[in-house]
Amino acid sequence: MDQETPNGTSPIQGAIQRGLQSESVLREELRRLSTQNSEVRTVEEVDAICAGLHFLIQECSPLSKADCFHEFVFLFQSAETEAAHTALRESGIPLLLEAYDIRYAMLDSPNSRERLGDDLLFALKIFAIYHTDESIDRIIKAARRPMEKDGYLWHVVFSVLERSPQWAVHVCESLCDPLPDEFIGIAYLDMANTLSRGRLIEHHPFDCVAGLARLEEFLADTRREHSSRGVSAAASIPFLNEPNRSALLGVALHHPDSHVQIEAAWAASMLGRREGDEFLIRAAADPHRSDLACRYLTELGKASIIPAVTNDPDFAAMAKMSQWLQHPCELGEVPVSLELFDKRVLYWPPTEDYRPVWLFKYVHVPQDDRSKRAVGVGMVGSITFALFSENSADLTPEDIYALHCCWELMQEEHEEAPEQRTVENGRRILRKHNKGF
């Protein structure tokens, strides 16, 4: 929680008061606030933010290097009390809209898109959070332009809207003809799928000539880097009319990407087709696909047909390790091999309890460069993780547990955390709690 300064003002109030001297000082002060993760808690702090926005609108140049529009936008997602949120919605959003409109009008100026585009898209996320009539209109207008049509934040904007179904439906219906293009269109498709799944819209916007052509294109594209488009297309299938639904389902079920196949199997199962159930059962028994398949079977009310092998602790641990390795921030794909390297029960100092822990050895050969090969070990049982640069398969299991113990203690800022992550320090700590380690 932010502390008041000696004169009774909060850091936010003090920073903005000092910043009103000049544009460059204001940005410096606001950047310092962002590094401190300052929370907006009081109406008085909102008043200070509004004063700063007035200064931004009247005195600051949108294309200058000192422009602090981004920093003000950041403050709007830092409201930690209902009073602050309400005050920002009522008093702050109109001013933020005014500052946004000034910059939006300059998008066609030379070099302005590079300077303003990402900040304006960030503002749309805030407009989705506060969802006033005026802020929602800006989202629709920006999508129609289109503004930053390849910007990943469009997915965030639409995901935030889904928390307010009334507004999500309004935006979905406002953008259905013509359908948004490029990445905006994919983010829009995902929102339409979510609304259809929740029975919030009766007609899926892609169930039209243009939309079906787009879905066919996504499923026909078998490039690995575009597989998420196929997943989004497959997720729409239950909400389409025949005969288009069956035609797309057949393509999706035979797509080379495993995630697209599972999404198609979910669609088939949702439509009451036996081949969907059978595919999900097989996937649930595969540790590399089990997590998603089990979640879908449970979601569909078919948990009773989940294979018994998924209840085996070793299988469940391997599935968790594989899921972690496949995350885009880690290996990003299924490892070539994954095998149990060690398992035991330890007193685990980071969690201060006895628990089963597992080590899994993996081999990774990137699909985009088969000349490279990596072998490593990951841990399951506490925080599922692999210390890629340190967990060599040449180390003993005890050495790897020691490194993970150090890493977790340091992550948690635990009182037993060592100053350095080393095998020696980790072994010393584990021996202290586990006789004979």
- pLDDT above 70: percentage of residues in the chain: 98
pLDDT of 50 reads: 95
In the sheet with 337-348, reading across from the earlier edge strand, the strands are: 337-348, 353-364, 374-380
What mean pLDDT comes out for the span 91-101? 96
What is the domain partition of the chain in residue ranges? 313-433
What mean pLDDT comes out for the span 329-340? 92
pLDDT of 376 reads: 93
Does residue 64 register a pLDDT over 50?
A: yes
pLDDT of 7 reads: 56
- pLDDT above 90: percentage of residues in the chain: 79
Range from 82-91, 133-142, 166-175, 360-369 carrying the lowest mean pLDDT: 360-369
pLDDT of 8 reads: 65
**Each residue's pLDDT tens digit, 8-23:** 688 899 989 998 888 8
What mean pLDDT comes out for the span 85-92? 96
pLDDT of 6 reads: 46
Range from 166-180, 250-264, 366-380 carrying the lowest mean pLDDT: 366-380
Range from 34-43, 116-125, 176-185, 391-400 carrying the lowest mean pLDDT: 34-43
Range from 2-6, 106-110, 247-251, 368-372 carrying the lowest mean pLDDT: 2-6
Between 328 and 407, where is the model more confident?
407
What mean pLDDT comes out for the span 225-229? 90
| Average pLDDT over the chain, rounded to an integer | 92
| Among 40, 30, 117, 28, CA closest to 77 | 40
State the pLDDT confidence band at 308, using cuts at 50, 70 and 90: very high
Range from 67-71, 82-86, 367-371 carrying the lowest mean pLDDT: 367-371
This prediction's pTM: 0.85
pLDDT of 1 reads: 41
Does residue 59 register a pLDDT over 50?
A: yes
State the pLDDT confidence band at 185, using cuts at 50, 70 and 90: very high
pLDDT of 289 reads: 95
Phi, psi of 212 (to 5 degrees): -65, -35
Does residue 403 register a pLDDT over 80?
A: yes
Does residue 358 register a pLDDT over 80?
A: yes
Range from 27-36, 250-259, 281-290, 318-327 carrying the lowest mean pLDDT: 27-36
